[in-house]
Amino acid sequence: MKLIRRILLVEDDPKDTELILEALSENNLANRVVTVSDGVEALEYLRYEGKFKLREKENPAVILLDIKMPRIDGIEVLREIRKDDKLKQLPVVMLTSSREEPDLKKSYELGANAFVVKPVDFKEFIDAVKKIGVFWAVINEMPQQSAE
């Protein structure tokens, strides 16, 4: 039986968070979604620090990572993930409003698995998130790895 891993959503905009959660729930994904609102919280979650010190020892199935955030932006979070032997294989999807070429290039240079620009149209946005969720949380196969 395949382990149902969490999805880590790193998004600072409450409206986008709500839309993403709605889109994922419409697909009836069994994956629980953990939401954090900036890069500092994302790294604390992944490293079992701060308020996440006692969380269950498992890595997420996928990280949906916004770029433009306070404290630590998504590019820096991605850089930290790829430097960490315990985290570097995690799928990271940059889910962002940024259409800036430097953000796209830097994301792929640092090892992003995908770069998805949030569509402005509501229906397109919902459809894009549904597809991301199904592919990365259900279809994609990951190697077994220790979360510790």
Task: State the pTM of this model.
Answer: 0.87
- The superfamily in CATH containing domain 7-139 is Response regulator (3.40.50.2300)
Assign 148 a pLDDT band (cuts: 50, 70, 90): very low
Q: Tokens representing 20? A: 């993403």
Q: Flag the least confident range among 82-86, 122-126, 144-148.
A: 144-148
Give tens-digit pLDDT for 31-47. Answer: 789 999 999 999 999 99
DSSP at 137: I
Q: Can you list the alpha helix ranges (DSSP code H) found in 4-136?
A: 14-26, 39-47, 74-83, 101-109, 122-134
pLDDT greater than 70 at residue 99: yes
What single DSSP character describes residue 136? I
Confidence label for 25 from pLDDT (cuts 50, 70 and 90): confident
pLDDT at 132 over 90: no
* Mean pLDDT calculated for residue range 101-121: 90
Q: Whole-number mean pLDDT of the chain?
A: 87
